[in-house]
Structure 1
Amino acid sequence: MYIVIVGEEGGRAGELQLALQDFGLDWKVDWLSGSGDAVALPADRRIDVVVSDMQVGRMQGAALLEQVRTLHPEAARILLLDRGHSSDAMQALDIAHRFLRKPLDASELIEAVESVQELRDLLTNPTLVQTIGLVSSLPPPPKLYLELERLMQDPDVSAAEIATLISQDPAVVAKVLRLCNSAYFSAGRAITDMRTAVTRLGTKILQRLVLTTEALGAGTMSPAEREAMQERAFRTSRLASQLLTGPSAELAATAALLAEVGKLLPGVNRGGPDDSGPHYAEAGAYLLGLWGLPMPIVEAVAYHHRPGAVRMSGFWVPGAVHVACALVSDLPLDEEYLRATYQLERLPEWREKAEKLAAVPA
């Protein structure tokens, strides 16, 4: 693993080296101070990760990472932010894969780089890495969803606080009000304020709705195609959450929401007979990994069309997402996989669940 760190004070090199030794990691790290209008990145070897300060000499970190995207598309791009300047990240959402806080923390860097390595161990297709690396404008991370996730970690959070956060995005507000006033949730009384809507829907459904609106709201699809994808994702998520229990059910629900996110990327195989390029499932999983979503979700998205390729035994999140996607979208089921995981006899029960969900609004 070869890492180039640009602009950050090299005085922290000793701390990072000690941390690498503690973790038993044999990484090569080069620190470049950076000055003037240009930074001389090594051109004679593969770079796995580039970490850049927000300002490197007279060059902005985002501009440097733009060069990295062109010259080293295989490299993960990490931008360092000063505390209190998180708003600056908005200008670099299309450039940086990850954001870390300054001063650089060795453990945070190791965790970020390890997750990239784990993702690449999962998705080893070099064409995929090149394809995603060269996309000029990736869908940005679901900012509102991630903020909502952090807010929900507070056990004392109120419906009013959640409503205030959600109200920042008019598109999400419209979706929330539309859903909570649908026949499935309305109970005969119209809802017009976000605080009551949050209480009626519940936090889990709200989180999924925010995620579908943000993550599946980009791309070049027509409004009708995008709406169809979002509703299909919501149905698939609801079914996937019923196939497992406990925390696994929530992982499956989130992964199912994002199973088709790769279709928003150019140059991917969307499943058509004449399509080429990396499969949209793997491309979507790679994108989610760059966003920093948990590996079980990334893995489930990558393998939802071929669950037998997962490197674990038993029926878990990838299997649940595969079944949910197949039943909701009328796609082929891998019955051999279900037989191998002793789940085939549950298929009639799952079909019945899918039929019941199809009978109510998405």
Structure 2
Amino acid sequence: MRTILFVDDEVNILRAIRRMFRNAGYECYYASNIEEAVQVLIGAENLDMLVTDIKMPNFDGIRLLKLFKEATPTTIRVALSGYASTASITEAISKNLAKQYFFKPWDNNDFLENIQKVFALEDKFVQMGLFQAIQDFERIKTFPKLFDRVNQLVQKDAGIEDICHVIEEDMAMTSNILRIANSAFYAAKTGDLQQAIMYIGLNNLKQLILSYEIATMNDRKYVKANALWHHAVTSNLIFHDLYERFYKRKVPPIIGSAGLLHDLGAIIMLQIYGTDYYRKLIQPKLSEEDLVREEENYFKMNHAVVGGYFLNWWAFPMDLVEMALYHHDPREEGIIHREEVALMCIASHMAKDEIRFMRPSVFDALDILHIKEDFLKPTYEKFQDEIMGWHDE
């Protein structure tokens, strides 16, 4: 039986959660402060999940997440917060302290269902048999070095100057960050790395470094990753535009670089399978659906599964894991952030100029979002140069 520890300093909240989970099929523990939470951690044989409020007057939930990350890293950490405290959620996610987050007040049915989906995703990766097949990917399981160093600095609340000093040791990464910051999207117009990072944001910076480092893991294959990199950057631009037009607000920092990571699995597969993967799958510039089918035909796995697996392994937020894993199939059962996945599905197809052909998954995405094809036209026209550029890579 799965075990969950709920932590909140409000007795009424804990009482409501206790009622909600009474017959849910989990072994649940409850704590109203850090001391009680630590006692549960010590006494319980195993804790599968920690669900804690992170904005409490009597103690700091961020500190509790850090404690659990160090003491029991396999425990899934979930943050709770009111809508007025989104900064706390962003901090928890950017420091890899929480995998999932929920806002108060919540709908009881949605809350229960989403907890179940978090566990179901963990089970899904086991059932896929990836743990045996993934042995060929062993060297990628560890965080790329620069990403790991920057991630550690962010977790320690290091200043921008310290982070810049580390990044400046890698001239290629420095120039790439400046290029992204000065692009039409960020329009930073700066040659200063510190200013560029402030434009991009720390969370986006980490995701950018991760994607770039994996793409350049083997220098002789990097040139062959150009088309993948172009697709990722264009997808990210389109995703932002669609998101902002659909929700009428900016993309949250937590998923600000979702487009850069949604096809991370393809970059990883290129690193592993090299020329064979490039010649059969990248060079022909296959459609999204054809790419997945041919990957499974040749390699018995596809890039969406590989990308989702590694982002999950590295404890990235559930939003990003789902957008990587399901962007080819937004109707897949068990998705929590279905609208975000649907937007990423459209963005990925549009970046390859496939919207004109309206693939089945795009129709599914439009249905999920309750929008018509005409909604896509302004975004398509806005990024037409970037979209057409993919054919030239």
- 1:232 corresponds to: 231
* Paired amino acid for 1:19: A
Q: Distance in 1 between matches of 2:49 and 2:261?
A: 34
Q: Which residue of 2 aligns with 1:121?
A: 123
What secondary structure sits across from 1:278 in the alignment? coil
| CA deviation string 1:34-78 (max 9, x = no partner) | xxxxxxxxxxxxxxxxxxxxxxxxxxxxxxxxxxxxxxxxxxxxx
Residue type at the aligned position of 2:167: I
Task: Describe the shift of the 1:20–1:300 C-alpha distance in structure 2 as closer, same or farther (beyond 3 A).
Answer: farther
Is the 8 Å Cα contact of residues 139 and 218 (structure 1) preserved in structure 2? Answer: no
The aligned runs of 1:1-362 (5 Å cut-off) are 18-20=43-45, 105-106=71-72, 108-111=73-76, 119-138=121-140, 140-145=142-147, 148=150, 159-180=160-181, 191-199=190-198, 206-218=205-217, 222-244=221-243, 245=247, 249-263=252-266, 264-265=268-269, 266=272, 270-271=291-292, 273=294, 274-312=297-335, 315-331=338-354, 332=359, 334-345=361-372, 347-359=373-385
Distance change (3 Å), C-alpha of 1:251 and 1:101: closer
Q: For residues 69 and 312 of structure 2, what CA distance do their matches in structure 1 show?
A: 24
Post-superposition offset of 1:288: 1.3
Distance of aligned partners of 1:109 and 1:355 in 2 relative to their CA distance in 1, 3 Å threshold:
same
Give the stretch that moved more between structures: 224-233 or 243-252.
243-252
Q: Could you say if the C-alpha distance between residues 117 and 168 of structure 1 is closer, same or farther in structure 2, counting changes exceeding 3 Å?
A: farther
The alpha-carbon distance between structure 1 residues 194 and 337, as it changes in their structure 2 partners (threshold 3 A), is same
Q: With structure 1 as the length reference, what TM-score do the two structures score? A: 0.58
- 2: distance between equivalents of 1:148 and 1:177? 17
Cα RMSD after superposing both structures: 4.4
Report the 3-state secondary structure (helix = DSSP H, G, I; strand = E; otherwise coil) of the residue aligned with 1:330: coil
- 2:360 and 2:151 mapped to 1: Cα distance? 32
Distance 1:254 1:24 in 2: 26
Unaligned ranges ≥5, structure 2: 2-38, 51-65, 78-97, 100-117, 282-290
**Cα separation, 1, equivalents of 2:228 and 2:203:** 20
Aligned-pair CA distance for 1:292: 1.6
Q: Give the aligned residue type for 2:327.
A: H
Distance 2:352 2:312 in 1: 25
- TM-score using structure 2 length: 0.54
- What is the CA distance between 1:198 and its match in structure 2? 3.5
CA distance in 1, matches of 2:336, 2:196: 41
**Structure with greater helix percent:** 2
* Distance of 1:104 and 1:153 partners within structure 2: 12
Alpha-carbon distance in structure 2 between the residues aligned to 1:21 and 1:217: 39
Structure 1 residue 182: deviation in Å? 5.6
Change (3 A) 1:338 1:182: closer
Cα–Cα, structure 1 residues 105 and 185, in superposed 2: closer, same or farther, change >3 Å?
closer
Structure 1 equivalent of residue 18 of structure 2: none
Counterparts of 2:187 and 2:257, CA distance in 1: 24
| 1:184-226 deviation digits (Å, cap 9, x = unpaired) | 7678x7x544234435656566455323312433358733222
Residue identity matched to 1:121:
D
Distance 1:354 1:339, change over 3 A: closer
Instruction: Give percent identity, aligned residues only.
Output: 21
2-side partners of 1:22 and 1:316: how far apart?
A: 30
Residue correspondences, number? 271
Which range is displaced more, 259-268 or 285-294?
259-268
